[in-house]
């Protein structure tokens, strides 16, 4: 079970990184699609990421992984700022806040679900 969670988490991080950097929207599209929906998407995607990482955590402490995920959340937005001319993506403080709240929420949910995950094939 843990091996499956680890592989799915790796796949999810790769897909999430691509989605957060590739030019899939413009300010006009965000406004017409529904601005709040985009903000909730950040919250939901990082909640799932925090949940997966906490559920599959083996050796490092929860605080270490929360720090890594917060750095990832901030880093993706900073990359959008730095690579704006290439990818037409935009930096937003509100996205960072939603990402961080999602990390904490997902980690908390994952923490309470950990006892229900089979841990026989432990990966070091």
3-state secondary structure of 120: coil
Rounded Cα gap, residues 46 and 32, in angstroms: 23
Going residue by residue through the chain, which has 124 residues, state the pLDDT in tens, using 9 for 90 and above. Answer: 778 888 899 999 999 988 887 776 555 555 555 566 777 888 999 999 999 999 988 878 889 999 999 999 999 989 888 887 676 777 888 889 999 999 999 999 999 998 888 765 555 4
pTM of the model: 0.81
Burial class (CB in 10 A: 0-12, 13-18, 19+), 52: buried
Q: Check if the beta carbon of residue 69 is closer than 8 Å to that of residue 50.
A: yes
Question: Which H helix or E strand runs over 28?
Answer: helix 27-33
pLDDT at 124: 44
Rounded Cα gap, residues 114 and 56, in angstroms: 8
């Amino acid at each position: 079970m843990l091996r499956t969670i680890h592989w799915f988490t790796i796949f999810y991080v790769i897909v999430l990184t691509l989605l957060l950097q590739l030019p899939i929207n413009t300010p006009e599209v965000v406004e017409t699609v529904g601005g709040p929906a985009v903000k909730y998407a950040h919250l939901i995607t990082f909640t799932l990421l925090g949940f997966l990482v906490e559920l599959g955590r083996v050796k490092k402490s929860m605080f270490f992984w929360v720090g890594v995920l917060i750095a990832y959340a901030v880093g993706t937005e900073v990359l959008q700022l730095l690579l704006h001319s290439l990818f037409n993506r935009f930096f937003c403080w509100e996205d960072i806040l939603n990402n961080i709240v999602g990390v904490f929420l997902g980690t908390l949910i994952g923490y309470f679900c950990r006892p229900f995950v089979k841990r026989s094939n432990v990966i070091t």
